[in-house]
Amino acid sequence: MSILVVGSVAFDTLKTPFGERTKILGGAATYFSLSASYFTQVRVVGVVGEDFTAEHEAVLTSRGIDVRGIERASGNTFHWGGEYGENVNEAQTKFTDLNVFENFVPKIPDAYEDSKYLFLANIQPELQLDVRRKMPRVALVGGDTMNLWIDIKRAELLETLQQVDILLINDGEAKLLASDHSLVRSAKKILTMGPRALVIKHGEYGATIFFGDGSHPFRAPALPIAEVHDPTGAGDSFAGGFVGYLAKAGRVDDATIRKAVIYGSVMASFNVEDFSLNRLKGLSPAAIKQRYREFKHLTHFEVDEEF
């Protein structure tokens, strides 16, 4: 079943311990789409500028992603500059040129209206809510946000969260949103704000999904990776694998959600192995299947009959 994703399509200029790259393809919607494209049909709503070439577009279309919702505006594409030090868990922003993204108003093509899944990547909460309202018939809504919106648009964000089924954020965002130092207490508080499930991403330590109905949480580790070349887009790749698998399965039972968290972790683990979308654009189903098995091996232990 198809997924509509709204979010940034962007260029990144960045430096990591493995090198420097200038104006490489990035953006939350781009990472999400490529990742989810291995599971189901993806449709993108976003905006790019005149510097977005046919070659950039081909990264999406060659994976069968529907780009009719990517508007072309005059000016340049959103451009982010950042640097990761030896501790790749923390990015230092060098510049944020919003460019055409500054006045972005999402427009949903008629052909997208039958999308069954919606992912609201990290954009202003009012725009997320607007898109959500234009898609009243979707079966499931996933969403992301960031510290900036939690700080300066809290009221708007809280209104948006009422309309989100599964929120995917990181540790720091969860604690800021809940105003609490405990991750577990933060999760409990956030689950009273609207979402019925909350995925908290712990970076190199993995992710935990908490449920509002009192079901037990599920915790997945990240794959221990010695050489993280570029962590940009790891969270969006996770979201793409997670929502992508849920859409493919067409179910949201406990076993399916657990597998979806693992597929999210699988896609994030691939993404950080190279810059930009380099790793995500050429994966094979066999490679994804093999890495899923690696996660199984990483975490599996027997029940104990001896104790």
List C-alpha distances in Å: 260 to 166, 242, 256.
12, 5, 6
Nearest approach, Cβ of residue 184 and a second copy (Å): 4
Which CB sits closer to a second copy, 134 or 188?
A: 188
Which CB sits closer to a second copy, 125 or 203?
A: 203
Which CB sits closer to a second copy, 136 or 224?
A: 224
Nearest approach, Cβ of residue 219 and a second copy (Å): 4
Which CB sits closer to a second copy, 152 or 184?
A: 184
**Which residues on neighbouring strands pair with residue 31, listed in sequence order?**
none
Nearest approach, Cβ of residue 197 and a second copy (Å): 14
Please give the Cα distance from 118 to 164 (Å, whole number): 9
Taking alpha carbons only, the member of 136, 141, 135 closest to residue 112 is 135
Contacting residues toward a second copy, per CB under 8 A: 85-87, 181-185, 187-188, 202, 204-206, 208, 210, 216-221, 224-228, 248-249, 255, 258-259, 261-263, 285, 288-289, 292-294, 296-304, 306-307
Residue 65, Cα to own-chain centre: how many angstroms?
A: 16
Nearest approach, Cβ of residue 182 and a second copy (Å): 6
- Contact indicator for 84, 17 with CB cutoff of 8 Å: yes
Nearest approach, Cβ of residue 191 and a second copy (Å): 12
- Contact indicator for 175, 183 with CB cutoff of 8 Å: yes
Which CB sits closer to a second copy, 132 or 248?
A: 248
Nearest approach, Cβ of residue 231 and a second copy (Å): 12
Element (H, E) at 59: helix 54-61
Edge-to-edge strands, sheet with 166-170: 66-72, 42-48, 3-6, 117-120, 140-143, 166-170, 197-201, 207-211, 218-220
Element (H, E) at 263: helix 254-271
Which CB sits closer to a second copy, 53 or 290?
A: 290
Measure the CA angle with vertex 62, ends 59 and 68; round to 5°: 80
Nearest approach, Cβ of residue 240 and a second copy (Å): 15
Which CB sits closer to a second copy, 3 or 9?
A: 3
- Contact indicator for 160, 128 with CB cutoff of 8 Å: yes
